[in-house]
């Protein structure tokens, strides 16, 4: 009886100690990130973007996105129309706000899915080595041999130009890259003592990969993925701009510019203001990625 209470006590202490170290590690990283002014500003901006995207229907009437008003077409920015109006007299600001839902969800969801699949494949390849590694590496080599933007364009051409198929296309591009990154990171981990210890304890290969190996690759994955969101947002908008991605009248950011590109000289605001939103979003994700990298590994800080 007494013995068990002692054991409980020890257990509790160990648990507390674990929690403290876990928290303090997280806390330390967060503290280091807070010192990076660019990172904090960018995080605030991204938070604001998410807020606007999620609560768009409370902030701006959804009908504004599609309402055409020929009398007010091609008007510059004003207090009534912050970003001006387009060819059909639609409010560009409302379109950009609702477009943020598409651009952000494509960027984030693709990153999450593709990173999960890609990293798992990479970890499996590096952990097992041999034939499995060979097959996974060769196949991803083939995918990487095709420039990313081109690959995405071809997949969209084959499966259609809906937001879902654009996500699939971008996933096809991102998965081999993550796979390669994680494989090279895991190769350095496989031979460490704690993996050996886990194996000695009789853990199955899959749970070693998921519980022991992958958490230790999280640092680089998070950094690359954050910046990956930025590059995905740029790629999505480029595809729509070329007319091979999401098609107008869907208010995707690139599609808005695609519709306006004939008017670049007459009404540059129609292209430049939505373009600036794209650039700022990409910039914010890049800066958060930089901040995370420095916070996770202060040695890398320049």
Interface with other proteins by CB under 8 A: which residues? 138-139, 141-151, 153-160, 230, 234, 237-238, 241-244, 254, 257, 261, 264-265, 268, 271-272, 275-276, 278-280, 282-283, 286-287, 290, 302
CB 41 within 8 A of CB 282: no
192 dihedral zone (left: phi>0; alpha: psi -120 to 50; beta): beta
Distance CA 23, CA 21 (A): 5
Q: How far is the CB of 149 from other proteins (least distance, A)?
A: 3
| Nearest Cα to Cα of residue 38 among 291, 207, 217, 274 | 291
Would you say 75 or 103 has its CB closer to other proteins?
A: 103
Q: How far is the CB of 206 from other proteins (least distance, A)?
A: 28
Distance CA 251, CA 151 (A): 24
Q: How far is the CB of 279 from other proteins (least distance, A)?
A: 5
Would you say 17 or 158 has its CB closer to other proteins?
A: 158
Would you say 38 or 69 has its CB closer to other proteins?
A: 38
| Nearest Cα to Cα of residue 260 among 99, 90, 98 | 90
Would you say 146 or 203 has its CB closer to other proteins?
A: 146
CB 282 within 8 A of CB 108: no
Would you say 69 or 149 has its CB closer to other proteins?
A: 149
Q: How far is the CB of 302 from other proteins (least distance, A)?
A: 5
């Amino acid at each position: 009886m007494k013995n068990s209470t002692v054991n409980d006590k020890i257990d509790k202490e160990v648990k507390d100690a674990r929690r403290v170290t876990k928290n303090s590690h997280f806390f330390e990283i967060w503290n280091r990130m807070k010192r990076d002014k660019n990172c904090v500003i960018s995080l605030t901006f991204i938070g604001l973007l998410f807020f606007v995207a999620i609560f768009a229907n409370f902030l701006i009437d959804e009908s504004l996105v599609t309402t055409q008003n020929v009398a007010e077409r091609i008007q510059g920015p004003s207090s009534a129309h912050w970003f001006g109006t387009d060819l059909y007299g639609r409010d560009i600001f409302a379109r950009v706000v609702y477009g943020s839902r598409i651009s952000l969800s494509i960027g984030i969801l693709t990153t999450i899915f593709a990173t999960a699949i890609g990293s798992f494949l990479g970890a499996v390849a590096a952990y097992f080595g041999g034939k499995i590694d060979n097959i996974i590496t060769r196949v991803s080599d083939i995918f990487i041999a095709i420039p990313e933007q081109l690959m995405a364009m071809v997949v969209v051409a084959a499966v259609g130009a809906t937001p879902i198929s654009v996500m699939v296309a971008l996933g096809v591009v991102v998965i081999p890259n993550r796979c390669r990154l994680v494989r090279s990171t895991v190769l350095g981990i496989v031979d460490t003592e704690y993996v050996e210890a886990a194996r000695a304890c009789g853990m199955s290969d899959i749970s070693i990969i998921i519980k022991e190996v992958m958490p230790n690759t999280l640092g680089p994955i998070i950094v690359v993925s954050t910046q990956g969101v930025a590059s995905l947002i740029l790629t999505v908008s480029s595809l729509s701009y070329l007319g091979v991605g999401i098609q107008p009248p869907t208010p995707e950011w690139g599609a808005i510019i695609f519709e306006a590109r004939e008017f670049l000289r007459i009404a540059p605001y129609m292209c430049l203001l939505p373009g600036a939103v794209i650039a700022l979003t990409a910039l914010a994700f890049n800066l958060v990625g930089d901040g995370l990298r420095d916070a996770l590994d202060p040695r890398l800080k320049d």
